[in-house]
Amino acid sequence: MRLLLVLAATCASVALLYAQAPSPEQLAQERAQAELEVPKLVEVLALKPSMVVADVGAGGGAMTVVLAKWLATGRVLATDINPAFLDEVREYAKREGRSNVTFFQGLAASANLPASCCDAILMRNVYHHLTEPETFIKSVTASLKPGGQLAIVDFPARPGSALPKGVRANREGNGIRSSLVEEELRRSGLAHVRTIQHWPTGNTNLVSYLALFRKP
């Protein structure tokens, strides 16, 4: 009986993990957004096709795949804390013929990337989920080359929205203010370059922002 209970609990955990994988409709929507957003990231980060860029919190993989397409002679390092998501991104990259993607299993307190490996790192709708932001950003900073840039794309919390599990109350809900991101990243030792509101198109109906930082 005990063995059956353990097996049932294990299967339930696995099912929950894989139930979070994006649907085909979500993937199509994410791909369209990535096709719109990546050229703007290329401009903001001054990316060159030979650079190494990490997509931290790769999720469904659209940003990873489109970045890998653009970085034709470079490399994308895709990380996620969810192994099911990494499997999805791995298959996505294979279907798209993207052989210039390397995968890393992320951790709650670390992006788990090699030291000084990246010209730039993207964290898209990830920062407000961090339960150990100082430790995590320390790992991200260690993975940037000197002069490397970190782009954080996120959105302010909607009033009354629920805090993600384990995050600090000063997030004020599901999201985080750009001013708080700037404050925390400055304390980590990164230099704030600029923050672009209404990311990515400038449409004032958009609440997302891009906060850009540079490693000294």
Q: Does 200 sit behind a cis peptide bond, omega within 30 degrees of 0 on the bond before it?
A: yes
User: What domains lie within the chain, and their CATH numbers?
Assistant: 23-214 (3.40.50.150)
55-74: pLDDT as tens digits: 999 999 999 999 999 999 99
Residue 74 and residue 53 in contact, taking contact as beta carbons nearer than 8 Å: yes
Between residues 28 and 212, the one the model is more confident about: 212
Q: Which amino acid is at 174?
A: N
Count the alpha carbons within 13 Å of 146 in the hemisphere toward its beta carbon: 1
Residue among 95, 40, 107 nearest 67 (CA): 40
pLDDT of residue 178: 98
Average pLDDT, the chain: 90
Q: Who wins on pLDDT, 111 or 18? A: 111
φ, ψ of residue 80 to 5 degrees: the values are -160, 150
DSSP string, 11-53: HHHHHHHHHTSPPHHHHHHHHHHHHHHHHHHHHHHT--TT-EE
Residues 57, 79: contact at Cβ < 8 Å?
A: yes
pLDDT value at residue 20: 53
pTM listed for this prediction: 0.89
pLDDT at 3 over 80: no
Helix axes 2-19, 83-95, angle to 10 degrees: 50
- Has residue 140 got a pLDDT over 60? yes
- In this prediction, residue 21 has a pLDDT band, given cuts at 50, 70 and 90, of low
pLDDT at 17: 37
Residue type, 195: T
Would the pLDDT of 108 be above 70? yes
pLDDT tier, 25 (very low <50, low <70, confident <90, very high otherwise): confident
Choice among 15-19, 75-79, 159-163, 212-216 with the minimum mean pLDDT: 15-19
Contacts of residue 164, Cβ cutoff 8 Å, sequence gap at least 6: 128, 129, 171, 174
